Amino acid sequence: MIVLGIETSCDDTAAAIVSTMPEGPRVLSNQLRTQLEEHAPFWGVVPEIAARAHLDHLDIVIERALAEANVKEK
């Protein structure tokens, strides 16, 4: 089985592809997009900026994770 994991907490957007092989799980891909530049002018995380950035970054992060893992979308 191939599993897509998504993380969108605080100021990072991430996606990982994991294969559950009989010999144990194996990470096929792990992609991360940070929002450090977006929040730097405010000296901390601004929740509204973070939420909007997750929406902007999520598709790209997932596409990169799938490509790196050589997994085709169904």
Q: What is the CATH number of the domain that holds 16?
A: 3.30.420.40
14-66 residue pLDDT tens: 999 999 988 889 999 999 998 888 898 899 899 888 999 999 999 999 999 99
What pTM was computed for the model?
Answer: 0.83
Q: Which domain holds residue 33?
A: 2-68
Burial zone of 39 (CB within 10 Å; 0-12 exposed, 13-18 middle, 19+ buried): middle
Is residue 73 predicted with pLDDT exceeding 70? no
pLDDT band at 74 (very low <50, low <70, confident <90, very high): low
Predicted pLDDT of residue 7 = 94
Is residue 3 predicted with pLDDT exceeding 70? yes
Examine residue 73 and state whether it is found in any structural domain, yes or no: no
